[in-house]
Each structure stands twice: as C-alpha cells, then as structure tokens.
Amino acid sequence: MEMNLIIDVGNSFVKLAVFKGEKLKYRESVELDDTFFIIKALKEKHPAIEKAIISSVGKLKKAEVNAIAKLFDLLVLDSKTKLPFKNLYKTPKTLGVDRIALVCSSINQFPNKNTLIIDAGTCITYDFVTSNTEYLGGAISPGIRVRYKSLNNLTSNLPLLESEMPKNIIGESTEESIHSGVINGVLKEIDGVIEAYKIKYPDLTVILTGGDAKFLSKQLKSSIFANSNFLLEGLNFILQFNLNE
C-alpha cells in the first residue's frame, strides 16, 4: 500500500507524519530549518511514500516547497483545494488551512454530526460544522502561552510563568493568581462556548485537539473526544479525497 507524507508547518515547529492508508505510522516535530533535510531522509528510508500534502500557517520558503515537489506528487493546501464540505464562511480566502484540515477530519471521523472542533494551541480556535456538512465558522482567542506571555510583556512587574494547573480558584500569591487567571479563564471559556453551542445544537459532538489538549482535557466539565493527531488525520483525508477525484 502507498504511503502519504503529511507536512504541517505551524507557527513554531513543523509536524511531519507518514500514513499508510488511514493508519499513522510515524510522527515527528522538527525545526523549520531542518524540514527539507529530514523529508529527504524520510523519502530515502521509505520509498513507498509517493504523495504528500503541505499545510502551512508558518513560513516555508518557496524554494523548499519546489524541492519537496520534486520528491513527491505534492498537494499544497489552500482556499482553492477541493474539500468535502460546503464552506459558508464569509471570508473563505482568510480561513486558515489548519482550520480547514480540522473540519475535514471531523467530517471523516464523525459524519452527519453537528461537530465543534476546539484546537488549543498558540491560539484557541473553535470551528463548527453541521450534520449537513456545512461549515459555518467559529471563533479565535488567545492560547495559554499567549496569555502568560501577554501578562509578562504588557505589564511591568508580572513574571513569565510556565503552564501549571492551579490548585485553587483563589490565588494566594502573584504566581498562583496568574495560574488561576490564565488556566481557569481558558477552562471556563471552553466550557462556556461548548454550553452555548449545546443550547442551539443539543446533539453536539465536541473534539479537543492541539498542543494543550492533554493538559486541559481532564479539567473540562463537558464530554469531549481528545485527539492530538486530529489535524494530521484531516490532512491525510484531504490528500486522499483529492487523489480520488
């Protein structure tokens, strides 16, 4: 069976994944500057990889994209790519490719469901697709690290802290207060958004993914499906969808 290479260029790192059919066989996060060399090595190690897809919200140089295209039958995901849903977003050209991939993953894994996909990464994105596979839009808010950094960057005296689950809603020191404000703020936001959607769509399916998904999932009140590979699986589905067209 042929293998697919998934290249997800994010704000901080590049995630590489190899799928055989729908099964994830390999995953690695690499520095942007190392991307092409590692991809070339993957091709040499796994010559069965013939197809590839690039999703880039970060900066991958055009010369590197062209070099990758010489190694594989390459699909570069953008607003013109054929997708398995009706896009009702008012500004479809500005819809991030990462959000497109998440929506496609939900359609593939939870067909004919009203689905809210929450991606807790640099930003927290909310994306909603109906049971009729209509994408309506969602929301974007600052992620956990952005909130910690903002408190440090935009004030004179607040320290930059690493993420930590607060033990109490009442912070008894400045550090405890920051942890309580940031983490409880994010948790209350996510639970609140889910509840707001459930009022309109009681049969709502909720997926949580992204770098902070594992950190947050056990603390949320709402019933969710946590899947750290959801975006990569969506990109693989888009690639297969376009190959079958």
pTM exceeds 0.75, yes or no: yes
Residue 32: what pLDDT? 86
pLDDT at residue 155 is higher than 90: yes
Catalytic residue among 8, 98, 119, 212: 98
pLDDT tens, position by position, 156-213: 999 999 999 999 999 999 999 999 999 999 999 999 999 999 999 999 999 999 999 9
Cα–Cα distance, 145 to 12 (Å, whole number)? 12
What domains can be seen in the chain, in order of their start residue?
Answer: 3-76 (3.30.420.40), 86-234 (3.30.420.40)
Taking the CA atoms of 133, 137, 139 and 144 in sequence, report the sign of the dihedral they define: positive
Q: Is 98 a catalytic residue?
A: yes
Res 48 pLDDT > 80: yes
pLDDT tens-digit series, residues 80-120: 899 999 999 999 999 999 999 999 999 999 999 999 999 99
Angle between helices 185-200 and 144-153 (to 10 degrees): 130
pLDDT at 76: 94
238 vs 245: CA distance, rounded Å: 11
Report the candidate in 101, 110, 140, 134 with the shortest Cα–Cα distance to residue 232. Answer: 101
For residue range 207-238, list pLDDT tens digits in order.
999 999 999 999 998 889 999 999 999 999 99
CA distances from 7 to 90, 150, 159, 162, 211 (A): 27, 30, 35, 28, 16
Q: What's the confidence (pLDDT) of residue 58?
A: 64
Rounded distance, CA 140 to CA 98, Å?
12
